[in-house]
Structures are given as C-alpha cells and as structure tokens.
Structure 1
Amino acid sequence: MDVVTLGETMALFSPESPGPMRYADRFSARIAGAESNVAIGLSRLGSESGWISRVGNDEFGKKIRAFIRGEGVDVSRVTFDETADTGLFFKEKLSPGEWRVKYYRKGSAASKMKPEDIDESYIAGAKFLHVTGITPALSDSCYESVLTAIDYAKRHNVTVVFDPNVRRKLWPEERARTVLLELSSKADIVLPGMDEAKFLFGEGSPEKLAQRFQEHGPTVVIMKLGKEGAYYLDRDMDGYAEGFSVSEVVDPVGAGDGFSAGFLSGLLDGLDVPEAVQRANAVGAMVTMAAGDVEGLPEKERLLDFMDNREHGDVER
C-alpha cells in the first residue's frame, strides 16, 4: 500500500440552481470527504491507497463505500456502524465564486471511530500515512484514533503527512490550536494553507509561517497559496512553485485535497519536492474546473497533458 488515510466521508447534496437553498426544489447527490478525496485522487494517479472509516449501515453508507471502492481505493478497513447514521452536508452556490456549506454530522457513524478500529499491520504496510485536522475534531475517540494511527506509523517508519484542514465550527478555537500544533509536531510533512497557518501562528509571510511549522518538528512544509501556487521548505532548499491558471473556477471545494494527492503522487513517482509541488498545484487547479469534490481529480495522462500545455515555473532560493 502506498498511502493510508482515515476520516469521515459524507453524502453531499447540492441544489441544481444557484441561490439560497430555501428556494431549491431539486438536488444532486454526491459523496465527499477530505481524506477519501485524497485516496481517490491517488488511485486515479496510479498509486495504491486505503481508507479507514466508519459509515452508517444505511443507504448513504453503502453508497459511499461502494463508490470509493469503485474508484480503486481499498475499503477493507471501513466498518458499518449499526448504532449511528452516515453524516450529510449541503453545499449551495449563492453566486459565482460564493459557496456556503452546512453540515449535519453530529453523532455520525464516523464520529464513533475509536483506536480499536486502527489496524497496526495495515498502517505498517504503507509508505505514507495521511491525516487531517478534521478527524480529531469530530470526537475524543476520533482524536485518539488519529494519535494511534500516527504512533503505529512512527513505530514502523511510515512517513506521516498532516493537512491541518481547519474547521472552526467543529470545536473551540483554543482546543483546535492545541491539537493541530500537537499533530504538526508529530508529522514529517505538513501541508497547510495560509489561513490555517495564520490561525495557528498569527500574521506572517509564507516563508516565516513555514519556518514556524518546521520549528515544531516536520522536515517538509508546503504552504498552499491558492491560485498563486505554493511555497515549499525542506531542510536543504526552499522556493516557490507557481500556480496553474484556469479559464473558469467552477467549484473550489476539494482543491486542497487534490493538492495533497498530487504532491504524494509526485513523491511516490520519485519526483523531488519542487517537482512534486508543481504536480500538486496542477491537480489542485484541475479540481476547481469541475463541480463536486472528486469529479475534477485527473488520471495521470490527463494531468501530464494539462501540465505540458500551461505555463508554470519554480524559483529555488
């Protein structure tokens, strides 16, 4: 297994027409979850990925597991919960470029995930463990599950990749900062956005904020800068990788997950950090050109064509 990840995936409903959801009478149904987005992105790019989670023993849970399995992701460590339902959320497009999301996930099956759900041998067989700051916010048992997965990864020399993915509505801000900094200190690679970095450390340039993260323990820090690209800081190099322009941003949600998938795919393919960041920028850009969290995730041939046909650059410092 190349990458194992764990977290909640929910059923996603979006009105078919723009505007406030109160006026909607027709919805499209999809699935979405940060960690499964990454797993699917990796699978499409030719890597082996596995996803650990709990879903309700309901139609939404069955839909989620079947869909993710159909994308080539290993779901053998996904458990059906008989006591809790699958989480739901709604995403409305209020105007071009303006989105609003409403979650119905309290007490969901995924929030019941516990350390006993984490198989040490499964983690040990991976090259990377990918975790986010969303999962520990769901419940104390989810927090303990993430720590357990990281401990197993450390025990077996599996590289730990952490995306802070701040969700302020899920938990008190002080608790969020404490846990996110704790997980950052345990990670080998951290993939924050600028808003997340400022939430943890206050104002600063990408360079300064990356240094603050690195002071906490990770070897590699990649600062996601949206359409501007990304800044990377490794032990012996740092620099900027320019973003890729797109003609129209259809849906920005999921771009960060695509970035993570692209970056890990690059490392797995033997690219160095700057090259892997360029690939990450490209995947993130491609995700924004399609509606839905996973619909824009490319297969490798299309990704390489996209990169070849658009200007991009890198400046090492």
Structure 2
Amino acid sequence: MYVQTDKEKVTLMKILCVGMMVCDIPLYPVPDNILKLDSWKISNAVPTTGGDALNVSVGLAKLGMEVSLCGRVGRDSNGAFVKACVAKEGVDISSVIEDLEYPTAASYILIDTLNERHFLTSNKIFDSLSAEDVPEEKIKKADLVYFGSAMIMERMDRDGIEKLFRKSRSLGKITAMDTAMNTAMNSTGQVNYYEQMKCALYETDYFLPSYDEAKILTGEELPEKIAERLKEFNMKALVIKLGKKGCYATDFVKGKYISTIEGMPVKDTTGAGDSFVAAFLCGISQGWDIFKSAAFGNTVASLNVGAVGATAGIPDFKSALAFFEKQDIQY
C-alpha cells in the first residue's frame, strides 16, 4: 500500500501484468488501395511499444499505480527498445524474460484514412510464455494479477492461465483477464475457445473481452446473452468492450450499457481497449464499483485515441479524474 503522493493519488493495489510485449511500428495514413500503388508517402514511421499486457502496465503506471510486467522479448534491438520504453514509464520489468530462440514480437500497424487499424504481425514468441515464467515472489507482492493475452498464446491458453490464476488466488490475489485473439484468423470455428478457456474462466474475477472476442468465445450475439453464458463461472464482473459505443458491464445481478464520450478527436485507435482496461483496474483499485470504473475506462480510452500510439494519450490520474468528473456519463 502507498500513502498520498504529490500527484494526489492513493494507490490501493499493486498490479502484476502478464502477457504480450510487442514492438509496434505505426504507418499512416495508408490508403485503401495501397496494394495497387507502387509507392505512397506516409508520416515518419516511429517505433513504439504495444501488446496488451505491456500497454495495460504502462497505462496503469501513467495513472499512478505501482505495476510490474512479466512477458518475453527476444535478445535483439526491438526487445531492448521495448524494455527501455516500459522501464522509463516506471514499470518494474525485472521479470521480463529474454527469449534466446525467438525475436521480439513486432507489429506493423497500417492506419487508414478513417483511423482504423490493420496489423501485420510476427509473434511466434507468444507461444513460449508459460505460467512457470511468472515468479511466485511477484505474485505475492501483487494485489491483483492481470493476464492480457487469452486466446492467442498457446501454452497459456492450454493450462497456463489456469495455473497462474489458481496460484494467485491461493495467495489471496484478485485476478483479471482480457482476450487478444486475432478474430480474422480465429473466426472459422476450428477451435472451441469456450471449452479451452473454461478452467481459466473459473479462476477469473474480472473478465474484460472485446465484443468480437466475447462473441467468438460464447457463440452469442447480444451482450446480455454473452453474460448469461458466462454466469456459470461466478466472476465478480464481466465487462464487454464495445469500441466507440462504450461498453456493457454486469455483475450478473444487473447490467448496464455505458456510453463513451462523443465528439472527441480520434487520431489512432491503437491501444484503445488496453487503455480502457488500465483505467478500469485503476478504478477498481480506488474501491469504485464496476460501473463507475467502466465509465472511467471509457473516459481514458476516449482521451487516448486522440494521440498516435498505444498509450500516448493516457494522462495522469489527477488530470483523468478531473476530466471524468466534468463529463455527463451515466453509470
């Protein structure tokens, strides 16, 4: 626990983030007919950091939380860059592993004229991460353990998340999970994600998937029906991210649609969902209920998309809270 700081923030939880770490290279603006053109002029291609666990850890740090990160990068220049960027934000990276077999995951992000994202990725390293990579001492020091990459990391999906969360709960920790599957590659029905993820879901307190991922996971179309399907797992809450429409949050007693902020400038939607998750967990750490935490998540995500980069638009907690309190968000 921490005392009041000069940022006027009391941190009530220490959070351990586990999952993807990526070197992102955003390319913009990219026209729809790029494959029919010989060349096209874009803005400077400046590398940045990405991956949901990494993004959430940086978002939490920007919001004043104490956070550590566990994942894998290659022993290469991209890995060194990613670690340096995360450490600069105040995230503890002492548990980040340098993989000697695979290079650091990389994404070339094509941002079109409507500010929508399209990814070209190299991420074989994702399959290397295992529950054994997470030091027990880090779990013991945390109050909440967040896994950000379900449905895309082979060893963790198989039984790693379940092991990590069962260990975390045995040590009295809260667990939270997001999904990160590539919906374009995994919408064929070849994998029964519901059966694959059941054991992990039973060990999850807060589940925060996107709508597309929740739909593929459960086979249901409506958020209310998705919630009904997931009720068996006795979670504290389900929050379904709905993009520019906001989110649907439920404690399985009552559910609410919470809108985002209209009229906000949009430059890059990369990391929008991750900034939402960071702000939601920050809200939970304040002792807020899930609905206020989700509304705060919508607010921070709305601010974040106004800058280019997965976490570039996330403000400090004091600024985010002041902006949030001025909005007329019904929650």
| Alignment counterpart, residue 25 of structure 2, candidates 13, 17, 24 | 13
How big is the shift at 1:131?
A: 1.1
Q: Which runs of 5+ in 2 are unaligned?
A: 1-12
Note if 1:153 corresponds to 2:165: no
SS at match of 1:89: strand
Which position in structure 2 is the counterpart of 1:119? 135
| Alpha-carbon distance between aligned partners in 2 of 1:173 and 1:310, rounded to the nearest angstrom | 43
Correspondences of 1:1-317 after superposition (within 5 Å): 2-19=14-31, 20=34, 23-24=39-40, 27-106=45-124, 108=125, 110-134=126-150, 137-140=152-155, 143-168=158-183, 173-234=190-251, 236-314=253-331
SS at match of 2:71: strand
Contact 1:283/1:297 (<8 A) preserved: yes
SS at match of 2:47: strand
SS at match of 2:108: strand
SS at match of 1:80: strand
How big is the shift at 1:33?
A: 0.8
1:174-199: CA deviation from partner (whole Å, max 9, x where unpaired): 24343234422321111122222221
Taking structure 1 as the reference length, the TM-score comes to: 0.89
| Alpha-carbon distance between aligned partners in 2 of 1:77 and 1:99, rounded to the nearest angstrom | 30
| Alpha-carbon distance between aligned partners in 2 of 1:132 and 1:170, rounded to the nearest angstrom | 19
Q: Which runs of 5+ in 1 are unaligned?
A: none
- Stretch of structure 1 that moved more, 79-88 or 64-73: 79-88
| Alpha-carbon distance between aligned partners in 2 of 1:170 and 1:176, rounded to the nearest angstrom | 13
| Alpha-carbon distance between aligned partners in 1 of 2:108 and 2:46, rounded to the nearest angstrom | 10
1:54-99: CA deviation from partner (whole Å, max 9, x where unpaired): 2111111111111111111111101222332111110112321332
- Stretch of structure 1 that moved more, 220-229 or 3-12: 220-229
How big is the shift at 1:270?
A: 1.6
Question: Percent identity of the aligned residues?
Answer: 25
Taking structure 2 as the reference length, the TM-score comes to: 0.85
SS at match of 1:5: strand
Contact 1:17/1:24 (<8 A) preserved: no
Contact 1:162/1:183 (<8 A) preserved: no
1:85-122: CA deviation from partner (whole Å, max 9, x where unpaired): 1111101123213321110122x3x4322333221121
Residue type at the aligned position of 1:5: C
Aligned residues: 311
